[in-house]
Amino acid sequence: ERYVERFIDAGADHVIVHVEHEAKHDVAWTLQLIRGRSRKAGLALNPATPIERVLPFLGEVDELLVMTVNPGFGGQAFLPEVLPKIRELRKRAPRLPIIVDGGINPTTGRQCAEAGANVFVAGNSLFKHSSLDLTAAIDELRKNVTG
């Protein structure tokens, strides 16, 4: 919560905080702070975090970020055990954007889309694409996640 104002002042339109850091910040207060500054507020949850941690806040967020790897560094392998979590969140929050981040490529992106995700964060799969053409890599990802 101590950095929220700085990010907003620097121009952030969306601020997503991890629900796991509840011991370090008051999640409800932080979400109110973000929305009080007319920004989109989101919650992120790690692969091991049960969805029950975000359920009390569904009415206070504009988006959910499901980490599909353990946060820390790029290039990690996608964790398929998060797919049921995405499915359940989609059932409980049919209108919220569900973002996935980590190990997203055309194959895993499609799996996430089928589970209910609709925003995809991709890094290595784009920048290390065999064609070395970022536009082609993005087009391939889009084609696979949209069917």
Output the DSSP codes for 29-83: HHHHHHHHTT-EEEEEE-TTS-GGGTGGGGGG-SEEEEESS-TT-TTPPP-GGGH
Q: Does the pLDDT value for residue 21 go beyond 70?
A: no
Tokens 């989109």, residue located: 40
Give how far Cα 97 sits from Cα of 56, 63, 118, Å.
17, 5, 6
Give 47-84 pLDDT, tens digit per residue.
999 999 999 999 999 999 999 999 887 778 999 999 99
Q: Does the pLDDT value for residue 101 go beyond 90?
A: yes
Among the residue ranges 1-15, 18-32, 37-51, the one predicted with the least confidence is 18-32
Give 102-112 pLDDT, tens digit per residue.
999 999 999 99
